[in-house]
Amino acid sequence: MFPNGGRREGNEKERKKPPMTTKQSQFQKALDVIETLPSDQQSDLVEVIRRRLAENRRDEIAASIREAKADYRAGKVKRGTVADLMRDLRS
């Protein structure tokens, strides 16, 4: 985790920061809101985000499998052993 629970250190006026991009600004705003939540809600939020990331990854894998199957049916994929692959790469 981050030092001090991810909270910023020092006086904001003393630190010189480069201008934030919109994406960075939105991210910082989200962090600021999260810091106002009680610890138990922050933990709940982490679990929700982890579950959503896992679901998104499963969706990506499923899409990749569908694409691979379609490529195989279309004849765009070869089957063989590692030795076959190495032979193809050398030729």
What DSSP designation does 6 have? G
Reported as a single tens digit per residue, the pLDDT across 3-15 is 455 555 555 555 5
23 part of a folded domain? yes
Q: Structure tokens of 36?
A: 């106002």
Q: Does residue 1 carry a pLDDT above 50?
A: no
Alpha-carbon Rg for the chain, nearest whole angstrom, is 24
4 part of a folded domain? no
- Closest by Cα among 25, 27, 32 to 8: 32
Reported as a single tens digit per residue, the pLDDT across 75-90 is 998 889 999 999 999 9
7 part of a folded domain? no
In the block, which residue shows the tokens 């379609």? 70
62 part of a folded domain? yes
User: Domain count of the chain?
Assistant: 1
Residue 69: which domain range? Answer: 19-90
52 part of a folded domain? yes
Choice between 20 and 88, residue whose per-residue pLDDT is larger: 88
14 part of a folded domain? no
12 part of a folded domain? no
